[in-house]
Amino acid sequence: MDQFFISSPLGTEELLLSELEQAGVSVRNKANGGAYCKTRPLLALELLLTSRVASRIYRELSKFSISNEQELLLKSTNWPWESLFTLDQTFKVESSFDREAKRRFRNTLLLSQKLKDGIVDHFRGKYGSRPNVDTKQPDITIFMRIEQSTHNERRFTVRILQDLSGSPLSNRGYRRAIVHQAPLRENLAAAIIMLSNWKKDQEPLVDSMCGSATMLIEAALIKYNIPPSYLMIQEFLEENKGPWSFLNHLWFTQDSALKTGFDLLVKRLNQQTIRGLASAKPGTFFGYDNSVPSLKIARDATNRAKISHIIALKKECATKLHPPSGKPCTIVCNPPYGERLGRDDELAHLYHQYGENLKQSFRGSTAYILISNSQLRKKISLQTKRRIPLLNGGLECRLCEYLLF
């Protein structure tokens, strides 16, 4: 078994742990923004394709302690990097540091440079040549995490990992590069659906300010058990290429059993997708927005996701909505926050009117609203049952649950 770190948006760690438990993965410990675990390589790749909340999956290469920059250079120079990638492949280094490591080393860029130098020095010493750095599209990304040691305050624990994901796992493939002024990451959208008490086999789901329809698409994938990577899987099967960086790693390419297992895995998940898409029916998902450009983006996304026939989209102001079926439903909403879109005085009126309409028109329903601005939250004038902390694109938010009586 290998060691891995699986990252997820802050606030979704418990959802990630639940996914890992269901998959039979042994979790070593939970961390802010993810979890360290131990599992078989093929199961890690299955998680890479099936986790709805994971952002990236890293394979742990080495763990050691240092007290200064020179120790990092020495230990990284002595590590067998040729077992990870070849001279012909490009690489880049990414790093993160906890508060104490930042305070101790100050110039954290210098430590990243020391790791890069150690890699280059190792290859030069062994082959008389070095691989090139590519900061935009490298064959392999090496990630370094430095934290203060729990055993000695003068030393720091260094973890060296390789990124198996390539592009973030939140990039499902159904959204274009620029979709909206303040888009919600796909895995965070999935997390919001998973955190709600939506009864997927009984209740309609309404997104009252649907934007690019991300929450509706993610909810549909959940309802019909379609893997979040299904579009990438189809591309891989059709063109024998995919966005995942591990496909070019020696760790994968030199393990024939792992390659065979992965081929069988993607075929199985593709069959699961075919069954899910075939069973998808209209009548559950309803998206509304007052912006014609947003609705155009939403229609494009649902078309690319191959589920436009089950998601009803309509131009309508959220302050005037009624339940589409006349019955109680679950409402989700990611309204403008004020930090990015609109003016606060206009938004205050919008939030108040929106809350009043929920109160009057959606009795018996439950609403889940992602809010960053606490002053705007108060304008809704409804009592929250739950406030779940989440981080959306660097903004501290609360997912507020409202029971509408």
Cβ proximity of 402 and 383 under 8 Å: yes
CATH label of the domain that carries residue 286? 3.40.50.150
Give the separation between CA 213 and CA 288, rounded to whole angstroms: 9
Q: Are residues 220 and 355 in the same domain?
A: yes
Compute the average pLDDT of residues 38-57: 97
Under DSSP, the state recorded for 245 is G
Tokens of 227: 């893997």
Cβ proximity of 332 and 293 under 8 Å: no
Q: Are residues 17 and 93 in the same domain?
A: yes
Amino acid at 185: R
pLDDT at 338: 65
To 5 degrees, how large is the angle CA 306–CA 309–CA 310? Answer: 100
308-320 pLDDT, tens digit each: 999 999 999 999 9
Q: Are residues 262 and 364 in the same domain?
A: no
Q: Are residues 254 and 298 in the same domain?
A: no
Q: Are residues 239 and 332 in the same domain?
A: no
Percentage of the chain beyond pLDDT 90 is 81
Compute the average pLDDT of residues 253-282: 97
Give the separation between CA 22 and CA 6, rounded to whole angstroms: 15
Q: Are residues 145 and 196 in the same domain?
A: no
Structural domain harbouring 334? 186-224+281-403
Q: Are residues 35 and 136 in the same domain?
A: yes
234-245 pLDDT, tens digit each: 999 998 878 899
Compute the average pLDDT of residues 168-195: 86
Q: Are residues 380 and 297 in the same domain?
A: yes
To 5 degrees, how large is the angle CA 213–CA 217–CA 221? Answer: 170
Confirm whether 176 is domain-assigned. Answer: no
Q: Are residues 196 and 288 in the same domain?
A: yes
> Hunting for tokens 């705007």 — which residue is that?
376
Distances (CA, A) of 115 to 21, 95, 126, 160: 34, 10, 17, 10
Q: Give buried/exposed letters for 207-216 (b at 16+ CB in 10 A, else e).
A: bbbbbbbbbb
Residue 321, Cα to own-chain centre: how many angstroms? Answer: 31
> Hunting for tokens 């927005």 — which residue is that?
289
Residue 327 pLDDT greater than 60, yes or no: yes
Q: Are residues 113 and 55 in the same domain?
A: yes
Residue 58, Cα to own-chain centre: how many angstroms? Answer: 14
Residue 165 pLDDT greater than 60, yes or no: yes
Residue 272 pLDDT greater than 90, yes or no: yes
Q: Which residue has the higher pLDDT, 339 or 359?
A: 359
Q: Are residues 331 and 346 in the same domain?
A: yes
The count of domains in the chain is 3
Domain end point (choices 215, 242, 277): 277
60-89 pLDDT, tens digit each: 999 999 999 999 999 999 999 999 999 999
Give the separation between CA 401 and CA 385, rounded to whole angstroms: 5
Q: What is the mean pLDDT of the chain?
A: 93
pLDDT band at 151 (very low <50, low <70, confident <90, very high): confident
CB atoms within 10 A of CB 348: 16
Percentage of the chain beyond pLDDT 70 is 97
Confirm whether 110 is domain-assigned. Answer: yes
pLDDT at 40: 95
Domain end point (choices 114, 148, 163): 163
Confirm whether 75 is domain-assigned. Answer: yes
Compute the average pLDDT of residues 352-361: 95
Residue 394 pLDDT greater than 90, yes or no: no
Domain end point (choices 242, 261, 277): 277
Distant-in-sequence, close-in-space partners of 82: CB < 8 Å, separation ≥ 6: 122, 123, 126, 127
Compute the average pLDDT of residues 337-355: 77
Tokens of 253: 């390419």
76-123 pLDDT, tens digit each: 999 999 999 999 999 999 999 988 988 888 788 899 999 999 999 999
Compute the average pLDDT of residues 167-188: 82
Tokens of 287: 């998206």
Cβ proximity of 378 and 347 under 8 Å: no
Confirm whether 177 is domain-assigned. Answer: no
Compute the average pLDDT of residues 389-400: 92
Cβ proximity of 7 and 161 under 8 Å: no
Strands (E), 285-326: 285-289, 311-315
Q: Are residues 213 and 347 in the same domain?
A: yes
Confirm whether 300 is domain-assigned. Answer: yes
The lowest-confidence range among 18-27, 45-54, 149-158, 260-269 is 149-158
Confirm whether 172 is domain-assigned. Answer: no
Amino acid at 280: A
pLDDT at 181: 55
pLDDT at 340: 45
> Residue 31's beta-bridge partner residues?
34
CATH label of the domain that carries residue 119? 3.30.2130.30
Confirm whether 180 is domain-assigned. Answer: no
pLDDT band at 330 (very low <50, low <70, confident <90, very high): very high
The model carries a pTM of 0.93
Confirm whether 22 is domain-assigned. Answer: yes
